[in-house]
Structure 1
């Protein structure tokens, strides 16, 4: 028998209902599912997330956070993108409409994703265990160890992505997340947490298989990105741990690096040796004092570059040729028409294989500055919230490590217009606004 609600009793707000909480947590898990599978589902789950966020924001009476100048910039940027699209279509009737232009309008969702993170800040931790369990299951199901020790140019697929580079980036995010959560776990005592040892084993297994998958996939850009993040990870071990834990992690890290070098050194050298030598030779020539464009063009047309390096050099030459037509504002969606007029238009790709150039050819220096300020602000807000004791330090560490990793992978891949890159930017942008709202909320609370 169901008792009646007493007259005058208020119902729980929408975002506090069990159904809304379940929907939000599931949608948030799908939002980050691009590390496992490359689909557009992360876009569709934005609809219920934004719906719950906006409804709560405008109906809630006790707290109404400001979005600030960066928030307004995030809302106006999609308007700018849309107006440029319409303007180019108007003045260039032959425009082909560009490619994946809509992804640059997602900044408008960062504010609401951040508000959802703020509303459910005490519940999001429940997603960690499912995230790592799913990560381990997908890695175990797809990582193929056969051929790992071969010195041939063997690249083995894993996870559920359209190509190995995307899968390696996803595994890189999983590896960094497992590392940061491992540091958090080691900061606790076994009796403080249920399933402590099971979680420890889970995180170690996830880290191992994510790393093995990255080695087998042989994505050189991801290898370099992980190396770039390694100094920060080492610094974190020394600052976030102490005593025996610090010693064990340091020894384990050294042993792991030496083991990787001994077991996979020959394979890694075989796969990247020629490209590293070619890149170094190009750098030396560039600093020799000759005209940059002439040096690069001669290198490309010499036919001496390794195939993948040569492809990227040709693509980047085309992209720079388009960008230099308007350094400040770029070409908008008309870049695709101009691509056919570039020197190496027959390369067979229209992805720049460089996220910075993806932005530059469309929006020029203005676009690069906009994204730099936006994500710099997001990291700043997270840092301030961490210093003020509002955010767990390991969460901020994850954002810093993953962001360094992401920035480096962007130099050799068009992450910004891929599912995994778009969803990651939604998460980082969301956490930036989450921290901004949280700091405002904290300022309204009585001093303790």
Structure 2
């Protein structure tokens, strides 16, 4: 989770260390995870991605760009076992993380610059977009962390402490997201906030919580209204160009012609113009091998495309990143893993293994991330890699704990996951 604040590759070494400690010192057993069909799919996909990368590297000398990252799926089940054996540490880890987030955001936020409407880069990231994506994760996580306390019947003292920290973190995160001027993150937060509102209404009917959530939504709406001029200044031209492209497509004009016109138009903002060039190139590469993709060789084809002179090969669309490498078949397999993960965590929530707020957080983060990669290749960055590991770890840990609860296994008994059998029915509901 630290990648949301400080953009480094330390999370990779942390993951390796955690898995090593789990299997070497805690004597955790990995074999039961291999009886899980989803674990087999993840490992098989990871092995396939790694072998395909090595084949392309050895046979054609083409190393591609960040190809080996797709082999991370090999570690998904092991990360689940690691989270399962560390379950009792989740409460203090979350407290430490959000306290750290509060300190780091407070120390790094250029308040005067943001108030003046200037462009800033949040927290400790390489650029503003990465920082805005990280702040979005923190905002959503802090919100559900607070809701979890009410749902599970935490003590009044715990509620007060968590709420104070969460509100401060949420305020700083939203403030930094506004300052980052990332239109993609602004767009991704629309469905995320919608889900946050709906899940609060569905899962929590406590009057105090509902009143607070409604007040927060009204406050956010008022804040957006107050800075509407600055938002329009940074996002208006992009929105107008997107609307014009949509209208041309709706009129029946071919996609390639519409994109070419937009690229050549002086009205198209530079950031969108570059993205359109990247996406046009990507579509040309995909057309060569739409079903299975071009593996490492996609870069070789890229050099022959119409806009090969564009200064980078980060496609600024996570779905295109997958399609150029693995085609529709690869995208379908990854979609299966994601949707299965969401369904499994939902089942765990329904069985009381975790709170409903925890599942709502899991779902909202998935939707939010899915929208952020429409305009950025976050799945090729540290924040996306780290999120993938955490997403998978939660899925497999919940699966193991659910199986344990159903009597199929005898793993560690849940102690902090959500409403337990000892909590009165009125609290669980």
Partner of 2:92: 126
For residues 377-400 of structure 1, the C-alpha deviation after alignment (integer angstroms, 9 at most, x for no partner) is: 111110111111111211111111
**How far does residue 290 in structure 1 lie from its aligned partner after superposition?**
1.9
Three-state SS of the structure 1 residue aligned to 2:208 is helix
What is the 5 A alignment of 1:36-435?
36-55=5-24, 64-93=32-61, 95=62, 97-150=63-116, 154-187=118-151, 192-435=155-398
Relative to structure 1, the CA distance from residue 246 to residue 57 in structure 2 (aligned partners, 3 Å threshold; closer, same or farther) is closer
Count of residues in correspondence between the two structures:
410
Q: Contact 2:185/2:372 (CA < 8 Å) preserved in 1? A: yes
Structure 1 residues 341 and 116: CA distance shift in structure 2, 3 A: same
Normalised by the length of structure 1, the TM-score is 0.87
Tell me the CA shift for residue 199 of structure 1.
2.3
**Distance in 1 (alpha carbons) for counterparts of 2:33 and 2:69:** 26
* C-alpha deviation, 1:427, in angstroms: 0.4
Measure the CA separation in 2 of the matches of 1:243 and 1:193: 14
Larger Rg: 1
Residues 230-289 of structure 1, C-alpha deviation per residue, up to 9 Å, x if partnerless?
211111121232243144224413431332133211111111111111101100100101
- 8 A contact 1:142–1:157 mirrored in 2: no
Asked if 2 retains the 8 angstrom alpha-carbon contact of 1:228 and 1:405, the reply is yes
Deviation string 1:198-237 (CA, Å, 9 cap, x unpaired) is 3221111000000000001111100110012121111112
Give, in whole Å, the separation in 2 of the partners of 1:198 and 1:443: 35
The answer to whether the 8 A contact 1:187-1:241 is kept is yes
The alpha-carbon distance between structure 1 residues 308 and 59, as it changes in their structure 2 partners (threshold 3 A), is closer
Distance 2:288 2:300 in 1: 13
Secondary structure of the 1:324 match is: helix
Listed as ranges, the gaps of 5+ residues in structure 2 are: 411-420, 422-429
State how far apart, in whole Å, the 2-side matches of 1:44 and 1:246 are.
39
Q: Give distance in 1, aligned partners of 2:270 and 2:285.
A: 23
Give me the CA root mean square deviation: 2.1
Offset of residue 193 of structure 1: 5.0
Rate the CA distance shift 1:364–1:188 in 2: closer, same or farther, 3 A.
Answer: closer
The 1:132–1:110 alpha-carbon spacing in structure 2 relative to 1, beyond 3 Å, is same
Q: State whether residues 379 and 385 of structure 2, in contact with CA within 8 Å, keep that contact through their aligned partners in structure 1.
A: yes
CA contact 2:148–2:358 (8 Å) conserved in 1 = no
Deviation at 1:149, TM superposition (A): 4.0
